[in-house]
Chain A
């Protein structure tokens, strides 16, 4: 399969490698050193780095600027864009801005509701939804047109991704929803963190049934647990997160000073198991404010070294 874009990520996937991505959250300030430092920590162990877009609705340095930083470092950024904060004008404009720096990956997201962020009283936009953003990027790339129909000079060349949460409700539309994203034009998928592997496997069964794994690259999301407390928090407080009781128990059954290590081990074990799931095209390791442990995970999971592209 020939790549549609210059994206390194796309190339690796299309080459049939298990891709590895990770993500960095931009700082709540304008010091670029922060993002540079995080990127340095992982750059040799991942194929691309997602930059989150004001995740959890807490205001941060913008995703686009951080991606530019990575690009200037010669790395492969994935620009996350949420539809919460920008209308169609701003979204298209930012896509063009990114394209101008030859940023080649975009991840189209709805965005967490601002209710739990630092601007609960703010207005949200939701002019488009994530599905429509995918369509928009594809239209800009493939047809070279703005939504309004006008032609774009130098259309963006972006590998279009979307998120999928196999664990959210209603479960019966989780596969159709992926199908919808594929139909909208998504080319790769990064999933919600997977702890309940059985449920993920059931979802993947459905995905495979409809051949969706052949239409989109599915990167399984994993997040190492730092502590039993974090496990419990994820289980009970984070919407759309499914942490089975065994995992919580396993973390809780481990002495406090060994819990972090146990979390890493669980994460590695998960990757090992997920590798065997047909249709998994790679991994998206979300080590939340724990980037320094990503290389270890990648190594222990047998995903290192990363393939070099010619």
Chain B
């Protein structure tokens, strides 16, 4: 899933400081699961903002709504009737949802309420970890299904740097050394010899380097 993090409230307050009415818009997908932008967080943020406005002695209508997905235009359509009540939207969806919302309602300012962090998973309640950077050229087959692009601080393709200590990355003792994990996996798979194969130079064109990406499947298009 896409993992996002709640934006510092101060930043959101600054974004919406001039609005006279505001919709806090949640998304019931990834951001709900990672507890950054579901209905509950919508409630928390809306309540906080109302308190801020009340303290400023301002009458600001802060509405709350949570859509099934903000990354689908059909769901966004559900807002059609209500959107005009509001000066602006604070979206707690990921960057995708925010943009889709903005695209759907071109004249409505849409502000981000979360920082979209990465594609990852819940390690334990309250801890989310990155697993994929969407580089568009998956090499997991070679690396024992541990991604050096997403998980090595230096994206090294040929082994750990000299900073790997006790299985941890040189940047932090809280970060596992991806290559230690790769080596462990290869050992477990009895494929340690694969390590010695030199990795070809990576084609980054499928990554962000290639500009905005698009996946098209003609067989599915109508």
A residues with a Cβ closer than 8 A to B are: 84, 88, 110-113, 115-116, 124, 126-132, 135-136, 147, 163-165, 168-170, 172-173, 176-177, 179-180, 183-184, 192, 239-240
Contact = CB atoms under 8 A, between A and B. Distances in A.
Secondary structure dominating the interface of B: loop
A18 B162 CA distance: 25
23 contacts: A110-B156, A112-B170, A113-B154, A113-B163, A124-B154, A129-B156, A130-B161, A131-B157, A131-B158, A135-B198, A147-B201, A168-B161, A168-B162, A169-B164, A169-B167, A170-B179, A170-B184, A172-B192, A180-B196, A192-B162, A239-B162, A239-B163, A240-B161
B162 A132 contact: no
B153 interface: yes
B43 interface: no
Contacts of B162: 110, 163-165, 168, 192, 239-240
B154 A129 contact: yes
A239 B165 contact: yes
B160 A129 contact: no
Contact of A177 (B157, B159, B184, B199): B159
Contacts of A116: 171
Contacts of A131: 156-159, 198-199
Contacts of B196: 176, 179-180, 183
Interface string B169-208: 0111000010110011000000010011011011010000
A169 B160 contact: yes
Contacts of B171: 113, 115-116
A126 B178 CA distance: 15
Given A127-B204, A184-B198, A170 B158 contact: no
A165 B170 CA distance: 13
A115 B153 contact: yes
B40 interface: no
Interface string B70-106: 0000000000000000000000000000000000000
Given A113-B170, A173-B183, A240 B154 contact: no
Contacts of B180: 169-170
Nearest to B157: A129
Contacts of A124: 154
Given A112-B170, A173-B160, 8 more contacts: A113-B153, A128-B201, A164-B162, A168-B160, A168-B163, A170-B164, A173-B183, A180-B195
Given A113-B154, A115-B153, A129-B156, A170 B183 contact: yes
B20 interface: no
B183 A172 contact: yes
Contacts of B163: 112-113, 168, 239-240
Given A129-B155, A184-B198, A239 B164 contact: yes
Contacts of B124: none
Nearest to B200: A132
A240 B159 contact: no
B100 to A, nearest CB: 27
Q: How large is the interface on B (under 10, 10 to 19, 20 to 34, 35 or more residues)?
A: 20 to 34
A173 B165 contact: no
Contacts of A112: 163, 170
A128 B202 CA distance: 7
Nearest to B186: A173
Nearest to B184: A170
A169 B166 contact: yes
Contacts of A163: 162
Contacts of A177: 158-160
B170 A239 contact: yes
A179 B164 CA distance: 18
Contacts of B204: 127
Q: Max chain A CB contacts within 10 Å: which of B167, B170, B179, B204?
A: B170
Closest 6 pairs (CB-CB, A-B): A165-B162, A239-B170, A239-B163, A131-B158, A240-B162, A126-B155
A165 B161 CA distance: 8
Contacts of B179: 170, 173
A203 to B, nearest CB: 13
Contacts of A192: 162
B161 A126 contact: no
A189 B29 CA distance: 51
Q: Max chain A CB contacts within 10 Å: which of B167, B184, B196, B198?
A: B198
Contacts of B184: 170
B178 to A, nearest CB: 12
Q: Max chain A CB contacts within 10 Å: which of B161, B163, B164, B177?
A: B161
Contacts of B199: 129, 131-132
Contacts of B157: 129, 131-132
